[in-house]
Structure 1
Amino acid sequence: MKLVWCPDTASKAYIDTVKSCEVFEESSVAELVSAMAGGWKPQLIVETWFHGGVITTSVGLAVASRHTCGRHVCVVPDEQAKLDYIEEMRKACDISPEVIVGEVEEVMRSLVGIDFLVVDCRRKDFARTLSLAQLSNRGAVLVCKNSTARSLNFRWRSVVDGGSRIVRSVNLPVGKGLEIAYVATGGISKGSSPGKATTRWVRHIDQLSGEEHVYRR
């Protein structure tokens, strides 16, 4: 099983996010991320919030989670950040995501099966968050927002464990920069040697639709 794109849900999430974020800054990022989350229909959406940052991405993800009936979790560093985040979300929309406080090493151990992850590059632990994420067996979409804030220069392979394969990645000049990757998982478990894998990924492009399919053999 793998993540499958659902255009109807993506459209609904996008439209509702436009309505919710039309008076906020950086609404374009929220609209894009919401449509992506809605389209992939993830069951576990996780994001990290930079204290004092704009709330629109969270609104977009909250809208998408409502359409997909998935779990939406926001990770914040301390209790004050939690209070501020909840207050900002209360002002922005009527959806309240789950908020978890703690260090990234501790929090990511408790979140298993992530299929949509959004990290803010203004947080010092963004790369660590990506590397510790326990991704879903269906695969996952990883998003780094505000990538130009740190003059981001990293390879996805350096922050994704050996049991995952980068199927596609893209850099978009939206907001303050978006780095996006679709990751296929399986075949190699964390901590194992890639050379001992018993399966391999095969890439196939449909000549009629142009769609790319990745499956395991």
Structure 2
Amino acid sequence: MGKRDNKPDVAEFISAIAAGNNAQLMVMACSIVTVSTALALVAAAHQTGGRIVCILSGLNNENIQASKEALGPHANCIEFVVGDAQKLLMDHEEYKCADFVLIDCNLDDHKGVFRAAKESTSNHRGGLIIGYNALYKRISWSEFKTHFLPIGEGLVVSRTTAYGGSGGRGGDRKRSRWVLTVDKCTGEEHVFRITSPTQKEVKA
């Protein structure tokens, strides 16, 4: 793995959370392919047997070739598409069924892409949406019901469930929060997601 500091690694976190959620269709929306991020999804796909689609915005086919060359043999694990990520997530019969969507918040329309991902996943079987490079974006993430994680340049994480937006249904709804802990011996940081059922009112 080479030299590392004690900060959580963005690529490792993305790979682990995609694999941990058994993602079957992973869609990555970006303008420029970040090799480490793409390889994170490739590693997850090897574990889940899932597909990876990379939607490149504002580029042409020559840029796709450049991205493939940067990824080397791993490029064969990714399906590259040039187009409007927001529109494709809403209208394309395959992509709108994605259960894991990764969004580069450096995209000019990242907020619209995030909104489209939330709507399309909640209209199907639900899914997990992660935005990276989110730290310095001056927008309110509260409308998307996200959890902000201070990893790398900032991650925002949101989960949707089928037909129910970002929560469960009725008495089965669960509340969750992310916890960042530090190992006092090694100085390493660890991120955990804690989920607990909503307490029900007990009638006498």
Change (3 A) 1:131 1:176: same
Q: How high is the sequence identity, in percent, across the aligned residues?
A: 23
Deviation at 1:59, TM superposition (A): 0.4
2: CA distance, partners of 1:58 / 1:100: 14
Query: What are the equivalent positions in structure 2 for 1:102-141 lying under 5 Å apart?
Result: 102-108=83-89, 109-110=91-92, 111-133=95-117, 134-135=120-121, 137-141=124-128
Q: 2:28 aligns with which of 36, 47, 50?
A: 47
The DSSP-based 3-state class of the residue aligned with 2:173 is: strand
Could you give the per-residue CA deviations for residues 180-212 of structure 1, whole angstroms, max 9, x where no partner exists?
A: 112223158xxxxxxxxxx7464257xxxx743
Q: Aligned match of 1:65 in 45, 53, 56?
A: 45
| Mapping 1:184-195, distance limit 5 Å | 184-187=161-164
Distance 1:183 1:156, change over 3 A: farther
After superposition, the Cα gap between the structure-2 partners of 1:54 and 1:187, relative to the gap in structure 1 and judged at 3 Å, is closer
The alignment yields a C-alpha RMSD, in angstroms, of 2.9
* Residues 39-86 of structure 1, C-alpha deviations (whole Å, 9 max, x = no match): 0001111111232x5310110011101210111110002223312221
Note the residue ranges of structure 1 that are not aligned, 5 or more in a row: 1-18, 159-165, 189-198
Residue 181 in 1 paired to residue 177 in 2?
Answer: no
Output the CA distance in 1 between the equivalents of 2:138 and 2:102.
Answer: 15
Match of residue 171 from structure 1: 148
The correspondence for 2:131, drawn from 136, 144, 165, is 144
What's 2:15 paired with?
34
Q: Does 1:87 align with 2:69?
A: yes
Paired residues, number: 167
TM-score by length of structure 1 reads 0.66
d(CA) in 2 for partners of 1:113 and 1:43?
10
Equivalent position of 2:56 in the other structure: 76
Alpha-carbon distance in 2 for matches of 1:85, 1:213: 43
C-alpha distance 102-180 of structure 1, shift in aligned 2 (>3 A): same
Contact 1:90 1:96 in 2 (8 A): no
1:27/1:87 CA distance change after superposition, 3 Å: farther
Q: 1:114 to 1:94 in 2, by over 3 A?
A: closer
2:23 and 2:137 mapped to 1: Cα distance?
29
One-letter amino acid of the counterpart of residue 69, structure 1? G
